[in-house]
Amino acid sequence: MFFRRISGNSMLPLFKHGGIVICFDKRPKIGDVVVATIDDKEVIKRVDQLTDKKVYLIGDNQASSTDSRTYGYISKQSIVGVVIFYMNLPFLRNK
């Protein structure tokens, strides 16, 4: 289990900037929100398509998301974990 802070607006309206996600290391399925490493940067996106070896990720707010529409499929090994819980508490947000 690990925690990550949401940065940016690519997952609006559900996941807001400054919120916290709790993740587990488990196999993703279509529709899951995941933490993935892309070009040495962690991103939080939704699994849109899944093959044996590759994953296609999209942001819920597609108008302001850089996702697989830009960088294409990623390998399953790039998935760090699956989001299982989200908290958006005002005192946790960056000022």
Neighbours of 84 (CB within 10 A): 13
- Helix, strand, coil in percent for the chain, rounding step 5: 15, 45, 45
- Residue of 27, 67, 70, 77 lying closest to 44 (CA atoms): 67
Adjacent-strand bridge partners of 79: 36
Q: 16: Cβ–Cβ under 8 A, 6 or more apart, which residues?
A: 6, 88
pLDDT in tens, the chain (95 residues): 999 999 999 999 999 999 999 999 999 999 999 999 999 999 999 999 999 999 999 999 999 999 999 999 999 999 999 999 999 876 655 55
SS3 86: strand
